[in-house]
C-alpha cells in the first residue's frame, strides 16, 4: 500500500513539473522586481504591446541573423481592438533608434533589387505564427503583402483596411539604424487616423550565431 501511495505521489509530482514547464513555454513572464526598458515578451523573440485600442507584436526571429545587409526584417502583427477602421499604409509604421533617428519602411522595389533573404524571412515568419497566434483567436485575419515573395506569384498589397476585431500580420523591412542593430533599444511606432497616440513596441535584436558562424568560430580558437 505504501509503495502504491509513493508511486502515485511521484507521478503527480512529475505531472506537476511537466505542466509548469509547458506553461513556461507558452509565454515569457516579466519579473515585476526588474525594471526593463523593453515591452513585454510574448516569446523569446516576440515583443508585444497590449493597448486598449490595438495590440501590436514585433518579432525579431529573422533579424537576429542579419550581418552585412543594409536592411533587416521585423515580423509585425496589428490587431484592431477599437470601434473604428484602421486605414494602414506604409506610412503607418516608423522605426526609431536610441539616438532619436526615425526610419520609414523600405520601398518594395528597392528591397527586391538589393536584398536576397525575403523568401527565407517569410519561411521563418510562417513558423513564428505558433507564438503570435496566441491572443487573437477571435480576430478575423485581413491579408497584407508589403513585400511579395520572388518564389511565388503573390501581388503587392500595401494598403490595408482593418475593421474592428480584425488583425493583419506581415514582414516589414527597415534600413539598419545608425545606432547599430544589435543589443540596443529600438522602437516601432504604429500611427493611423483615429489613434491620438501611436502604439509603440520597444524591443532589441540579439546577435545569434548561425551554424556556419559557429563552425568558423570553433576553427579560429
Q: Which residues of 137-172 are buried (b: 16+ CB within 10 A; e: fewer)?
A: eebeebebbbbbeeeeeeeeebebebeeebbbbbbb
**More confidently predicted of 4 and 156:** 156
At 23 the pLDDT is 41
At 221 the pLDDT is 55
Tell me: pLDDT of 74 over 70: yes
In the DSSP assignment, the letter for residue 100 is S
Tell me: pLDDT of 155 over 50: yes
Domain ranges of the chain: 40-209
CA distance readout (Å), 178 to 75, 167, 202:
21, 31, 17
40-209 has which fold?
Answer: Immunoglobulin-like (2.60.40)
Over the stretch 4-53, which tens digit does the pLDDT of each residue have? 434 444 443 444 443 433 344 444 555 554 457 899 999 999 999 999 99
Tell me: pLDDT of 111 over 80: yes
Tell me: pLDDT of 115 over 50: yes
At 216 the pLDDT is 45
At 151 the pLDDT is 75
- What is the full DSSP assignment across 63-79? GGG--S-SEEEEEEEEE
Bridge-based pairing of strands 166-175 and 140-141 is parallel
Name the average pLDDT for the chain.
84
CB count in 10 Å sphere of residue 206:
12
Helix (H, G, I), strand (E, B) or coil at 160: strand
At 210 the pLDDT is 59
Amino acid at each position: 500500500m505504501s509503495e502504491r501511495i509513493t508511486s502515485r505521489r511521484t507521478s503527480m509530482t512529475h505531472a506537476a513539473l511537466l505542466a509548469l514547464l509547458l506553461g513556461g513555454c507558452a509565454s515569457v513572464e516579466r519579473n515585476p522586481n526588474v525594471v526593463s526598458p523593453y515591452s513585454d515578451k510574448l516569446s523569446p523573440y516576440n515583443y508585444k504591446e497590449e493597448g486598449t485600442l490595438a495590440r501590436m507584436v514585433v518579432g525579431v526571429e529573422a533579424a537576429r541573423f542579419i550581418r552585412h545587409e543594409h536592411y533587416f526584417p521585423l515580423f509585425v502583427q496589428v490587431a484592431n481592438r477599437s470601434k473604428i477602421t484602421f486605414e494602414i499604409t506604409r506610412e503607418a509604421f516608423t522605426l526609431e533608434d536610441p539616438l532619436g533617428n526615425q526610419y520609414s519602411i523600405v520601398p518594395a522595389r528597392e528591397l527586391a533589387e538589393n536584398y536576397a533573404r525575403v523568401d527565407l524571412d517569410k519561411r521563418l515568419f510562417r513558423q513564428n505564427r505558433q507564438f503570435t497566434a496566441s491572443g487573437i483567436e477571435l480576430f478575423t485575419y485581413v491579408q497584407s503583402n508589403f513585400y511579395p515573395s520572388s518564389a511565388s506569384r503573390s501581388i503587392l498589397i500595401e494598403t490595408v483596411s482593418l475593421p474592428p476585431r480584425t488583425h493583419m500580420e506581415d514582414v516589414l523591412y527597415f534600413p539598419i539604424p545608425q545606432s547599430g542593430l544589435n543589443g540596443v533599444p529600438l522602437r516601432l511606432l504604429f500611427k493611423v487616423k483615429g489613434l491620438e497616440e501611436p502604439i509603440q513596441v520597444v524591443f532589441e535584436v540579439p546577435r545569434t550565431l548561425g551554424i556556419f558562424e559557429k563552425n568558423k568560430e570553433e576553427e579560429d580558437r
